[in-house]
Chains A and B, each alone.
Chain A
């Protein structure tokens, strides 16, 4: 039955994460963008929300919460509203832990999940993207070939968050190129495995506070037990749907940040003796931003809802994410435009949001719900 109301629990989560994003993350966003460093104390404080540990089963010391993609989207939006780079950093361990929770073998769960139930931030990551213009989730060039009892991985990855500080990572690789999404598997690879080279930190246009790395895999041997889900493998398509929903939800948060800032500025800033917001040329831009934010959020929620129902959310999540990629760019660009010359100055955050929003069309697989 159609309903657009958050549950009481979801409202509480939204309010508390939203307050944290507004009061703690936002003030740290600009300094982090300039320096490339996120204060450890802030990451530690965010960890206490249980964004990762909450979904770890109780027997491994976690919260044992049932994951909900809708709730995850709500959280991701609020973090994106605070700052998407910091949000992605804080959620990065999910990239490793959640697929293991959802699709790992009992042994893999027992071996890897405990460390995410502790009181301290535990860095971990996944390698999804590859440095090609027509990079395609369903056609990974990194390959994993059977080699005796195990597998041998070859190829290159990019945009791997926190790779340099993660003990282990999940590397997605093609085991059967004829099968598209179904031919992609995940491999749990310790960072120190022979054949794994981590590059210098990437220098990107936006998301500058998020440490990302290129990864080179050269005849990197792993055991059969490294394959996520064992012989059963994984549902890679579903994992990527979860990823699209999370990243798109963060995009909605970025849009909302730009909207609020531009709206408040337009009500203060005067031209010709009146606030510029009283001019239709500005007011209509703001109205359009507001419509796009609500439209994007509803599309994201719908895709998340499909995931929560256990259905194939490929189309819904793909369309929602592409919608966000377009509308986040447009909305954040309008944020800069409403501020005019001041929008171009790094004293205001709108230029940062525009740079961050540009990433949505280029990047996949660096967040999950």
Chain B
């Protein structure tokens, strides 16, 4: 039954996330942007202890369905994740990404790992000091075309040996060197096999042969480290391979895609959080200036500012509803690749435009670094790029609606 209501328990949890945004993120937001590679360690500590209670988790948990653990209660994990993501990215998207947790590495473990591996790799996130999980797919020679993985994993006795270079690894530095975390590295076990030969491997922090080559300087989300990692005869145990080593058509690469089905709505929610920050700021600003936004009057009598503001507002809500739907589908066990890409494509572009418009509507103030709106415009742009660019998501959507294979439409 169609329902758009968030129940009180969810709303009260969101209030808690909002408080985190307001009191822990916003106060250091500008500083982290201006001092890109300085780590807000106190923030990490606070988020780490808070997350133990709040369960800020990212992931596509298929295991619960398989062993029937979730039973009769409707699953809300993915919906809750997109809701909390919006709330936290209202605070600061860069800080959200830098929050110590299992991150995309954890999502890969959840999507592709055995129950034993999930336990082994993920339990650390409930204990001890702050830790990060990261995922490394992109290489210098490819981005969207993730089937072109050239990093190799070669069997050598009781070990896999990883060789190659990975870039654009979110939280890569924190996961690889600055905490007791891990990096999930996608590498091919058989180049001739193409996509099915690409497998995920968990490389523990400070493993010999894995080095952080550099941390990127970026347009926005500067609080989050984006690392380049070099793997030079990096030896890891056999059971660090997530899932099966067998090269099957249905294997490895499908697991990457399964990860995207869960993470694209989250990135959409990140965008929405940033967009809402900008929208809220403009709304408050207009109120202070006694500029009314008159809903319900003739569209021909709206001022340009009203029209712009309403457009920002409805675009954001459209993106939000698409995102909720994609997450809801995952929670209810429905295949959501199409809807996840729709949400991501819509939110990425809509919020890019919303934040640009926010800068414009504030005039000279909007361009100033005294307020955060210009930063949100810079932060927003990443959501139209990572976890699949706007264009890649459009291709995925087009293939689905046309019922075309990747060979037929590329």
Contact = CB atoms under 8 A, between A and B. Distances in A.
B398 A137 contact: no
Contacts, number: 137
A135 B329 CA distance: 42
A2 B395 contact: no
A277 interface: yes
A287 interface: yes
Contacts of B2: 3-7, 10, 70, 301, 305
A280 interface: yes
Contacts of B401: 263, 286-287, 290
> Which has the most chain A C-beta neighbours within 10 Å: B318, B339, B397?
B318
A1 B317 CA distance: 18
Contacts of B397: 287, 290-291
Contact of B296 (A6, A237, A287): A237
B402 A286 contact: yes
A288 interface: yes
A295 interface: yes
A18 B329 CA distance: 24
Given A2-B79, A6-B2, A298-B318, A278 B74 contact: no
A323 interface: yes
B301 interface: yes
Contacts of B318: 295-296, 298-299, 323
Contact of B321 (A6, A135, A136, A298): A298
A49 interface: no
Contacts of B71: none
A284 B6 CA distance: 34
Interface residues of B, number: 43
B3 A1 contact: yes
Main secondary structure of the interface of B (DSSP, over half): helix
Interface residues of A, number: 51
B231 interface: no
Given A134-B298, A283-B409, A295-B346, A277 B322 contact: no
B66 interface: no
Nearest to A284: B394
B296 A318 contact: yes
Contacts of B394: 283-284, 287-288
Contacts of A280: 395, 398, 409
Interface string A295-338: 11011011001100100001100111011010000000000000
- CB-CB nearest 9 A-B residue pairs: A283-B398, A298-B321, A295-B318, A136-B298, A287-B397, A3-B3, A319-B314, A287-B398, A134-B300
Given A5-B2, A315-B296, 17 more contacts: A1-B3, A2-B3, A6-B2, A135-B300, A136-B298, A138-B297, A237-B296, A263-B402, A277-B404, A283-B402, A291-B345, A291-B346, A294-B325, A298-B322, A298-B325, A299-B317, A319-B310
6 contacts: A4-B325, A237-B296, A284-B394, A302-B317, A306-B4, A318-B296
